Structure 1
């Protein structure tokens, strides 16, 4: 007997299963990740000089220059990046997450996470895997019309930016993203 509800779920699930090995095909080299991270930080500084000043004050900067989010009912995102301490790549990470709901298409964004204290940086570095919202929270920085930050957000020990080529993105979240160290 044909179950139309089950058949309706099979297409998106099959598509997602076909995408699972894709990150292995997209794996970047250290040089590619480092170049992308440097470019992403330049773009962030171009969007806001105040953001650049915050980057300079951070104990560590985790940069994911190209996070690709795609979905067809069921969605996922993946990106590789580097941890810069102080300003130099020390280790490499992957961010991944899943989402459910009405979504179709592909979106590319950059994510920058700033560890503003040595304690927050050490906690991240010593973790086997770090899930945003579980192992630590990241306060997303929102710019005012004049380019200034919300002073409460800037006072957090871990702050983050999400942006694209057109500027900082405010309606997104890092919540639920799993960040794991990778060998490069």
Structure 2
């Protein structure tokens, strides 16, 4: 196959354009994750204390969940180490049962141990419910713990709910590393 200069230029331009678009999308996700984490810290100061002690924080700034008997949820997030983006992840899940509605929300997962962070990084996709133990913390539970009572590998904070749908949980969710 013979390629002309024009076709090589077109292919190179398309490749650079796709790379720039991907980098822009990643930076948008990074900014959204940092803003979501700041909002969580303002709403729940205990989360900020947890963040100071965490080995890493995986923030999903927007997860969309929809269902009518059969449901699904998905969202992209950023792994923050030392407050800086280190990797990108996707969370997805499917469910079946008595459910109806659409909502969006955010999740912040605080990895308290190096071993739980290693598991996230080295697994080919972490199915929540296997591997490190995860405790979902709501506002009332957050008021009752302090840094001396922390004993679990991962703490999850759901927040920023919009829309209307019954039932939420991480069980059965799969978290996979992505390359935006």
Deviation at 1:152, TM superposition (A): 8.8
Rg bigger for which structure?
2
DSSP 3-state at the match of 2:49: helix
Asked if residue 42 in structure 1 is aligned to residue 42 in structure 2, the reply is no
- CA-CA distance at 1:151 after TM superposition: 7.3
TM-score after normalising by structure 2: 0.77
TM-score computed with the length of structure 1 as normaliser:
0.76
**Where do 4+ consecutive residues of structure 1 move more than 2 Å?**
142-154
Per the TM alignment, residue 59 of structure 1 is displaced from its structure 2 partner at its CA by 0.3
Q: CA-atom RMSD, angstroms?
A: 2.2
Question: Paired residue for 2:172?
Answer: 176
Deviations 1:24-57 (CA, angstroms, capped at 9, x unpaired): xxxx811111111011101111111111110121
Q: Does the CA-based 8 Å contact 2:109-2:157 persist in structure 1?
A: yes
Q: Which residue of 1 aligns with 2:47?
A: 51
Matched, 1:89 2:85: yes
Deviations 1:44-86 (A, max 9, x none): 1111111111012100100001000001221000000010112
1:160 and 2:147 correspond: no
Unpaired runs of 5+ residues, structure 1, are 1-27
Instruction: Flag the structure with more relative contact order, 1 or 2, with Cα contacts below 8 A and sequence separation at least 6.
Output: 2
Query: Between Structure 1 and Structure 2, which shows a larger proportion of strand residues?
Result: 2
